[in-house]
A and B are shown apart, each in its own frame.
Chain A
Amino acid sequence: MFRFIVRRLLQMVVAFFGTTLIVYALMFAGQGDPIQALAGERPVTAAQRAYLTEKYHLDATGVGGFFYRYFDYISNLLRGNLGESLTGRSIGDILAGAWPVTIKLALIAIAVAVIFGVTAGVLAGIRRASIFDNATLLLTLLVLGIPTIVLAPLAQYFLGVKWQLFPPTSGANPDFYALLLPGIVLGSLSLATALRLTRTSVAENLRADYVRTARSKGLPRRRVVSVHVLRNSLIPVITFLGVEVGNLMSGAIITEGVFNIPGVGFNLFRGIRTEDGPLVVGIVSVLVVVYLISNLVVDILYAVLDPRIRYE
């Protein structure tokens, strides 16, 4: 296990450099005049041009220059300095403000998926082909079929504007209540998938040979289901939820956009729209690390849950 973690950490280093290089190249390699792009329509004085050329090492040209700038960026990154966005704000500060909001949103979404999705999935799996099972099947198909870009504005309009049960937008420094509706919308997709996955897993495990053994030991049905079946059924579900936490931590561009939540996805989208290269690369670099770590955690969790998985 220890060797597996070390090997995975080494792989993460390679993956980190690979992905940041690609994103960096996509944002900067194709740009014509980065200084003019920075200034937009306004004229740039010779003094400003000289200062910015010096600051971003733009005097080195071609592929060599690109790598020079890339490694300059990476070395700053490794020292914890994410640089500045084109608007002059520290990217570290932007993320420090955005991440707590996104994490709160992600936690609400995951809680919704676990509390409703997994519970309903277990019940549907035990009572396969019942009315409850068929009703949840229909509902989850509906949710899975509607894209977030439709679901989010609908929820905002009906629950936020028309019936005024929730605040329609959250604005700066949103509290828990303001994030509840977006969290539910965001979590509904994970909820539907978690429910389907749990239901199938439980139904399958109920037919397993070891269930027959547990029954022939004279254990009550309650214990057979809650200990033997559940423990096995939740292995794929927890794996899915682990990956999902990683996804949600990186922000939800659509949901955060619709509800005007100043989270990571919101800032990333703004960076892409305004061609703010340093901001996009800065956020993505951090997202890559979040992804790699959450995947590692899922892999380790998987081995802990299922003794048949041993990494060596």
Chain B
Amino acid sequence: MANENPKLAAMQAARLAGKKAIRSYARKLADPEDIKDLNITPMMDMMTIILVFLLKSFTSSATLVNMDQNLSLPPSQTRLAAKQAVPVTITKRVLLVEGEAVAPITNGRIDPQLKRDGDNGYYITPLVEMLSKVARREKKVAEVTGQKFDGELTIIADRNTPYRLLTEILYSCGQAEYANFRLLVLKSRE
């Protein structure tokens, strides 16, 4: 008995120590001291909202103009904000409608062969044809949406464009039923 009691006591002590070690290990597993993964879901929500907001404000800008050495807008003190309309761009080298090249410009003049009445004419044939197509499309859209076709154009012209060329282009626009123009300018408070 005297030999058994110390053995029993030792076994009990070993069992208790074993259980203690297992409990301690279980606690360690259940409650890790260092954070393994940061919860980034709220941050993702926030970022997605910012992204949607920025995309919306970026795309709702009425007109996006890529200014370079061939297209430099003149400054103006106007307070009217740019509005969405069919853009006609006059650079130093080319005339564009909705970003599509219509006629080349050389030294501030359109090639006389592209004008119905020759060198002194105002009627730029490819411009009228192109704008007539656009006008037909706009009218269909206006009809479907129940709005009125307002015949408005945004003129994006280089600051050195001569008035003669501008007049020829505005006259041709008028021939395609566009009579109201919004001259796009850089806002300044000089």
A binds B: no
Q: Which residues of A contact B (CB under 8 A)?
A: none
Q: Which B residues have a C-beta under 8 Å from some C-beta of A?
A: none
